[in-house]
């Protein structure tokens, strides 16, 4: 009896201590997060955020399609001599290369502490968080599967190490977050293959490619793993805020852990990400609104880069066109198959025309369309060959429909901050889009009114005719649809 009583007292005490620790811990966390938010919110408001400054920083959130912007827009605008060195090696990163004007990395916002802040413009692209998680999972598995050509994990890892040093340290395996995700998946794929081989060829239990544990880590296992918590979930918010696991700011790790532990603290991070980051950016695109985003990028960013580089004082003679880093070296994704680099020449040609010739926004858009289609072809081919190694697994948008609601719901809940940030970005985008359209229309009308109205009359008539024609056609089409 006595003993039981003592035991109960002990339990209560432990419980109390626990509760007070939790309370204390929450207080500490709240303090850390609020301090961080406060110091971020303190900074002065930017007036001229619509004007491109000397340095363009492309904050590349993984799996948002930023790579195509880099190859198909920015590489055509900037000669490689103006590209800032990328920060693969954080300890020795020195962005102060004289004259450097373009920085594209997966680094988070905290890298701006190393940049001349008042002379930098930031741009980014955001994507629907659910799609981004899917894509991150698929890409991790895809890249890791390429290593299955090797007989065992030991030799695959050795080859990978050699590949890194050969490409002077620039491959997917060096770049955050892939430097964590790919080796993790690679180890996992080899383990599953070994177990398949020892048990004979298995027949998959399900027809859901995202849940074939005999061949690859199922999606639900991926999203619940601590590594995914570290670097995948709410990844866009943390990156925009400057709080990723890859951050330059010392306090960021505590802040991030606190926000992951106490969801209620997320509101501070969101507030900073919205009004102190996205609001101040020169451009925010959306992966989903691909066409509008690209056209806006050309008109908002492209047009300004063109006129900036052409200005007399831009003074960067375009000497460096010979020393172009080839696609296979500079691009994180291309470290293997020679097959898929076939198209790289098509992608590289006509680089940085802006400095040499009279490139216009129209030319830029046209070059972009060509470039993006060859890039996409190359990507599809790579994916096909990689996934063949873990056949029957084959990821696609249709296959995603097999994934259960429970898993989707869980992804949503693990990415609550990203979902809210994405909604915010959508609003921002539609406002920006409206403004740009309005400005373009105004410019066009100004140009038109400069010309004499008489000269214009025939083309006006044609325009009106074309407009009414397309209206009729559309209407007829709609009616047909209704009938069917």
DSSP string for 364-421: HHHHHHHHHHHHHHHHHHHHHHHHGGGTT----HHHHTTS-HHHHHHHHHHTHHHHHH
For residues 308 and 352, which CB has a smaller minimum distance to ligand NAG in the complex?
A: 308
For residues 105 and 293, which CB has a smaller minimum distance to ligand NAG in the complex?
A: 105
Q: Which of 28, 34, 117, 162 is catalytic?
A: 117
Residue 142 annotated among the catalytic residues of the structure: no
Closest contact distance (angstroms) between CB of 65 and ligand NAG is: 24
Closest contact distance (angstroms) between CB of 366 and ligand NAG is: 29
Pull the structure tokens for residue 436.
């740009």
Closest contact distance (angstroms) between CB of 428 and ligand NAG is: 29
Closest contact distance (angstroms) between CB of 110 and ligand NAG is: 12
Interface residue list for ligand NAG (CB under 6 A): 151-152, 154-155, 180, 227, 230-231, 245, 253, 313, 337, 339, 385
Phi, psi of 121 (to 5 degrees): -110, 145
- The whole-angstrom separation of Cα 403 and Cα 108 is 31
Closest contact distance (angstroms) between CB of 247 and ligand NAG is: 8
Tell me how far the alpha carbon of residue 383 is from its chain's centroid: 19
Q: Answer for the pair 374, 398: CB distance below 8 angstroms, yes or no.
A: no
Q: Which of 230, 231, 236, 225 is nearest to 269 (CA)?
A: 236
Phi, psi of 104 (to 5 degrees): -125, 115
Tell me which H or E stretch contains 122. strand 120-126
DSSP string for 126-193: E--HHHHHHHHHHHHHHHHHGGGGSSSHHHHHHHHHHHHHHTTT-SGGGSTTHHHHHHHHHHHHHHHH
For residues 313 and 397, which CB has a smaller minimum distance to ligand NAG in the complex?
A: 313
For residues 93 and 385, which CB has a smaller minimum distance to ligand NAG in the complex?
A: 385
Number of H helices, E strands in the chain: 21, 4
For residues 74 and 228, which CB has a smaller minimum distance to ligand NAG in the complex?
A: 228
Closest contact distance (angstroms) between CB of 248 and ligand NAG is: 11
Work out the number of other CB atoms within 10 angstroms of the CB of residue 253. 13
Closest contact distance (angstroms) between CB of 72 and ligand NAG is: 24
Residue 44 annotated among the catalytic residues of the structure: no
For residues 150 and 426, which CB has a smaller minimum distance to ligand NAG in the complex?
A: 150
Q: Which of 83, 138, 142, 420 is catalytic?
A: 138
For residues 381 and 410, which CB has a smaller minimum distance to ligand NAG in the complex?
A: 381
- The whole-angstrom separation of Cα 356 and Cα 313 is 15
Dihedral of CA atoms 33, 37, 38, 40 in degrees, nearest 10, equals 140
* Close Cβ partners of 141 (under 8 Å, ≥ 6 residues apart): 185, 189, 216, 217, 390, 393, 395
Closest contact distance (angstroms) between CB of 382 and ligand NAG is: 9
For residues 140 and 245, which CB has a smaller minimum distance to ligand NAG in the complex?
A: 245
- Residue 446: strand, helix, or coil: helix
- The whole-angstrom separation of Cα 74 and Cα 328 is 17
- The whole-angstrom separation of Cα 98 and Cα 82 is 9
* Residue 83 DSSP symbol: B
- The whole-angstrom separation of Cα 369 and Cα 376 is 11
For residues 184 and 262, which CB has a smaller minimum distance to ligand NAG in the complex?
A: 184
| Angle, helices 361-387/303-310, rounded to nearest 10 degrees | 120
For residue 127, count CB atoms less than 10 angstroms from its CB and return exposed for 0-12, middle for 13-18, buried for 19 or more: buried
Closest contact distance (angstroms) between CB of 24 and ligand NAG is: 23
Work out the number of other CB atoms within 10 angstroms of the CB of residue 141. 26
User: Which residues are catalytically annotated?
Assistant: 117, 138
């Amino acid at each position: 009896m006595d003993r039981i009583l003592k035991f109960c007292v002990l339990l209560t005490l432990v419980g109390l201590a626990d509760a007070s620790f939790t309370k204390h811990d929450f207080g500490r966390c709240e303090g850390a997060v609020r301090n961080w938010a406060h110091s971020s919110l303190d900074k002065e408001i930017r007036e001229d955020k619509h004007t491109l400054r000397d340095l363009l920083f492309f904050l590349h959130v993984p799996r948002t399609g930023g790579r195509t912007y880099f190859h198909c827009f920015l590489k055509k605008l900037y000669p490689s001599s103006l590209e800032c060195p990328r920060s693969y090696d954080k300890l020795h990163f020195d962005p102060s290369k004289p004259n450097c004007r373009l920085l594209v990395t997966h680094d988070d916002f905290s890298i701006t502490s190393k940049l001349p802040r008042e002379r930098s413009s930031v741009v980014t692209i955001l994507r629907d968080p659910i799609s981004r998680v899917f894509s991150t999972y698929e890409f991790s598995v895809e890249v890791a599967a390429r290593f299955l050509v090797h007989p065992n994990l030991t030799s695959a890892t050795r080859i990978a190490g050699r590949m890194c040093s050969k490409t002077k340290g620039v491959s997917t395996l060096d770049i955050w977050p892939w430097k964590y995700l790919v080796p993790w998946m690679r180890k996992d794929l080899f383990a599953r293959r070994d177990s398949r081989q020892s048990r004979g060829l298995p027949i998959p239990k399900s027809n859901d490619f995202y849940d074939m544990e005999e061949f690859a880590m199922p999606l639900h296992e991926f999203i619940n793993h601590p590594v995914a918590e570290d670097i995948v979930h709410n990844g866009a918010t943390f990156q925009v805020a400057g709080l990723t696991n890859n951050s330059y700011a010392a306090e960021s790790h505590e802040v991030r852990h606190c926000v992951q532990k106490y969801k209620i603290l997320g509101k501070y991070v969101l507030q900073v990400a919205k009004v102190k980051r996205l609001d101040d950016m020169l451009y925010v695109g959306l992966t989903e609104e691909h066409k509008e985003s690209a056209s806006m990028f050309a008109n908002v960013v492209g047009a300004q880069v063109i006129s900036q580089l052409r200005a007399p004082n831009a003074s960067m003679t375009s000497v460096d066109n010979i020393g172009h880093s080839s696609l296979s070296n500079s691009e994180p994704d291309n470290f293997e198959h020679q097959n898929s680099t076939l198209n790289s020449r098509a992608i590289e040609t006509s680089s940085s025309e802006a400095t040499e010739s009279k490139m216009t926004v129209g030319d830029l858009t046209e070059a972009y369309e060509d470039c993006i289609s060859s890039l996409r072809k190359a990507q599809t081919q790579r994916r096909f060959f990689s996934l063949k190694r873990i056949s029957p697994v084959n990821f696609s948008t249709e296959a995603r429909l097999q994934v259960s609601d429970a898993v989707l719901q869980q992804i949503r809940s693990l990415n609550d901050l990203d979902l809210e940030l994405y909604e915010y970005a959508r609003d921002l985008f539609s406002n920006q889009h409206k403004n740009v359209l309005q400005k373009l229309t105004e410019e066009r009308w100004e140009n038109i009114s400069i010309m004499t109205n008489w000269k214009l009359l025939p083309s006006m008539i044609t325009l009106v005719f074309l407009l009414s024609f397309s209206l009729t056609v559309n209407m007829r089409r709609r009616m047909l649809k209704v009938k069917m």
